[in-house]
Structure 1
């Protein structure tokens, strides 16, 4: 191992504080950044924990550290290998291998005729509709993706004329967009980045503004979810996409208007992660203005951007700003039933639960997570925030709350049934 390499937290038994320092450094975070994201702790507090001058924090703080550092398992932070609990990386879907094989394959010699681009577009439309309507949405799109990936690549290769090739590249980029929804939060980060980068390359080759916007939105999300060390990259992608799309807005289609709105909110989302309150809400307000220009029943199939989603977005901003009272106020004002997508509705329930938990209402948070599970079990199963709340409440002082949290934990596969 090179002398300047970070040690492996699993290589030898090491203390909690040493693990914390290793994982913080790998995320590119300063002590001040980490402390500020853990309920206002100071840089000196983080240093004291890392150096072993303070005892290992309580479970609630450990869970918050795991949330901020986006560790794969609590054991990665605590060192306890007896009961690893996956948090921000899901358990790995049974169809992941087939999807990965299709993404990694590069067949160069085939006589099979490619399906026409309109045929691919019709299959994609059905796939997005199935994703929004199915509670087991990963299972549904995981079954469709391998053939879609292979066929879309073949269509690009066999396209002869420039216009046909650009249309085929747009379809291929959309296939990669669908793939990113499947691959996200599963235990293969390099695969996620391959999908995001290939989607952006295909989008640029298509020269289609809407396709480019969608690929940029997903790439920005990949950067943002990689931690504070990647926030600048997320902002750069978002800003560049908005510079490209904004001049087109006077005559833009609903889809281009919607992806511009989604990217605008994405800038606010990252600002909220940075705790930049004014900037976050300014971008949310700009996004709402764009949403109001869309038809009342419009719903973007990839980003869910619409008039109906702005209430959910307001909850997300308040939660990321760690404002419990405002999160609850926004949750009360939002209309969950107006969101037609089951997985997006479940995700909104999770954001509401985070808000209630921040506001010191753990019973309401558990009720809300139970409703998220009813809407789309595969959404909550792969959501680290939801799992962190459930795990924390399994150690509640309230016997009834412990029971309810344990039952939900068992349904999520966090505890042995």
Structure 2
């Protein structure tokens, strides 16, 4: 039974070929297109898919995974032991310092140290979010701030004497962990991301603060969804529970709670789109759009970026995840990306736009969108798996101008040296 569940592609080339065929068809590619990108004849590649040829070696397996934009090698091989994120970028130089702060459970500080105050920590956290949204290299900016923010937030919790103070301190700690999750996304330390996401959820629950609970749920659900299809149900459960928790509060909720509820509603649509459930995905987008309409016109939530301006970008994401190339291009044309003030969020939208143009067989426009993503926030594209995969594909383009543009951008983001 175990062999049926996790077949060995090297022992059973037909199983490997079937997986390759399924992944290729999901991408809407022909065997000839894949063969061209692999540098082999269509006849040879056809034999790989139909099991007539011995399964390829590791180097070719990885190249097939890159061409098919497989995010994890296990998706192609069917072997859990090959659980490797192919497009996770190299670790940021500040990753070690952030990890050390997360893992630091010192119970005392030096006697000469001035204990941090909750008010001071809150002010620094607000400033850190503003810095993130305004910075082209946002990981560098917040990575420099996070170690002390994490340690001081832990200290503020430890020093809180009364229950109200402790709950407020836990809300601050949860939000500091939320900021850390934005730094840790696409970094090569999945266990650290999970520790931070779970600690944020625990701190948010301890705080009993609706906003903190909503933000922690939003991020924890994303962590599950991005772990693959087996975790979609868990992502939905977390999202729905948070929506139910916030729903009674919404008639009189402050703007930040209403925005988090809208962000959670969209996330339900995002996961539905990953499942290719078109009606459900757009229904949740419609609900999120209705909630955004209740927010001030220029409002953008400091953590989720949710607001009226981001709804167009969300529509592009839904269409892309549904593999609706034409619809994603139409939504991209309607979206007002200049209204997205956050540089990293604007860059993320450009990457989603590029995915849409790629699906719609407009590769030159896809590369142009990635160039615009780089202009907005280089560190967003540098660590984004989708962007890296698109660039990898066009590095092999038979069209010299496109290949040169892809190579130039790949060099800027460090892909060629990764």
TM-score, scaled to structure 2: 0.85
Partner SS for 2:309: coil
Cα distance change of structure 1 residues 51 and 196 upon mapping to structure 2, 3 Å threshold = farther
Determine if contact 2:134/2:343 at 8 Å carries over to the other structure: yes
2:187 is equivalent to residue 186 of structure 1: yes
Report the Cα distance in structure 2 between the residues aligned to 1:259 and 1:174, rounded to whole angstroms: 13
C-alpha distance in structure 1 between counterparts of 2:381 and 2:134, whole Å: 16
Q: Aligned residue for 1:109?
A: 108
In the TM superposition, residue 109 of structure 1 has moved relative to its aligned partner by: 2.8
CA offsets per residue over residues 117-150 of structure 1, 9 Å max, x none?
1111100000000000000100000000000000
Q: Provide the residue aligned with 2:221 in structure 1.
A: 220
Deviation at 1:32, TM superposition (A): 11
**Whole-angstrom CA distance in 2 between matches of 1:118 and 1:200:** 22
Quote the residue 2:140 is aligned against.
139
Distance 1:64 1:282 in 2: 33
Deviations 1:290-339 (A, max 9, x none): 00000011110000000000000000000000011000000000001000
Flag the 1:117–1:36 CA change in 2: closer, same or farther, 3 A.
farther
The separation in 2 between residues aligned to 1:170 and 1:226, in whole angstroms, is 26
How many angstroms does 1:66 deviate by?
A: 3.9
What SS does the corresponding residue of 1:170 show, helix, strand or coil? helix
Q: Is the 8 A contact 1:59 1:392 kept in 2?
A: no
Give, in whole Å, the separation in 1 of the partners of 2:243 and 2:132.
Answer: 27
Q: Tell me the SS of whatever aligns to 2:308.
A: coil
Q: Distance in 2 between matches of 1:378 and 1:257?
A: 30
Distance 1:219 1:17 in 2: 37
Alignment-derived partner of residue 95 in structure 1: 94
The CA deviation string for residues 54-96 of structure 1, in whole angstroms up to 9 with x for no partner, is 67699996336443x435999x99xxxxxxx984311000000
Q: How many residues align?
A: 389
Range moving further from structure 2, 124-133 or 407-416: 407-416
| Distance in structure 1 (CA, Å) of the matches to 2:233 and 2:357 | 30
* Alignment-derived partner of residue 360 in structure 1: 361
In 2, the alpha carbon distance for the partners of 1:332 and 1:228 equals 30
Q: Deviations over 1:27-76 (max 9, x none)?
A: xxxx99867744499xxxxxx96884467699996336443x435999x9
Do the aligned residues in 1 keep the contact of 2:14 with 2:52 (CA within 8 Å)? no
> Aligned residue for 2:65?
62
How many Å separate the matches in 2 of 1:96 and 1:113? 26
Which SS does the other structure have where 1:232 is aligned?
A: helix
CA contact 1:73–1:86 (8 Å) conserved in 2? no
1:44 is matched with none
Structure 2 residues without counterparts, runs of 5 or longer: 31-46, 79-83
Against the structure 1 CA distance between its residues 259 and 36, is the aligned structure 2 distance closer, same or farther, given a 3 Å change threshold? farther
Alignment root-mean-square deviation, CA: 3.3
| 1:291 paired residue number | 292
**Which residue is equivalent to 1:241?**
242
Which sits farther off after the overlay, 367-376 or 104-113? 104-113
CA contact (8 A) 1:89 1:384 kept: yes
- For 1:98, what is the secondary structure of its paired residue? helix
* 1:115 match: secondary structure: coil
